[in-house]
């Protein structure tokens, strides 16, 4: 696409094309030089080909149920570098366990709540009245939709 655009642009800017547009004769004896263009090479991006003999790993490397619930305990190096030492690590773990137990208290509402359906905005009497008023209104009244055939 770019090569075609470049070729069109080059043709439009050449002296022969400009003189043709002006209605002049392009066969001048003084101007016998031929302009040669550089080679244009167009390559498309290589598409990934399907290889039926390539290796497919039979083991899924994505997380499993065990990975979601089991975490290896940290090494002493991780405790000292990332958690601020054994005392800070102990305090943090104690607070996490206390927070888990607080969420189990009766009356605790979790942050994620299931959806509950709300009642319809009109009861049966109001709905019947709205239908009756819509049918009684003149067809050309403002706010009424056009009748459907």
Domains in the chain: boundaries: 71-101
Round to whole Å and give the CA distance between 82 and 77. Answer: 8
- pLDDT, position 96: 93
Name the nearest CA neighbour of 73 among 100, 95, 93: 93
- Residues in contact with 31: Cβ distance below 8 Å, sequence separation at least 6, in sequence order: 15
91, pLDDT greater than 70: yes
- pLDDT, position 54: 83
Task: Quick: pLDDT tens for 6-57.
Answer: 676 666 666 555 555 555 555 555 567 788 888 888 888 877 777 788 888 7
95, pLDDT greater than 90: yes
Task: Quick: pLDDT tens for 100-136.
Answer: 999 888 888 887 888 888 888 888 999 999 899 888 8
- pLDDT, position 129: 92
């Amino acid at each position: 696409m770019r090569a075609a655009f470049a070729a069109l642009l080059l043709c439009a800017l050449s002296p022969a094309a400009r003189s043709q547009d002006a209605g002049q004769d392009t066969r001048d004896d003084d101007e016998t030089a031929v302009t040669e263009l550089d080679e244009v090479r167009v390559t498309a991006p290589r598409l990934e080909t399907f290889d039926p003999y390539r290796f497919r790993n039979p083991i899924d490397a994505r997380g499993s149920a065990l990975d979601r619930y089991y975490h290896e305990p940290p090494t002493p190096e991780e405790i000292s570098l990332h958690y601020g030492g054994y005392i800070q690590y102990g305090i943090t773990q104690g607070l996490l366990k206390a927070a888990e137990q607080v969420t189990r208290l009766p009356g605790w509402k979790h942050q994620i709540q299931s959806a509950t359906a709300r009642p319809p905005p009109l009861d049966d009497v109001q709905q019947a009245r709205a239908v009756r008023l819509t049918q009684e209104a003149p067809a050309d009244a403002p706010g009424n939709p056009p009748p459907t055939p």
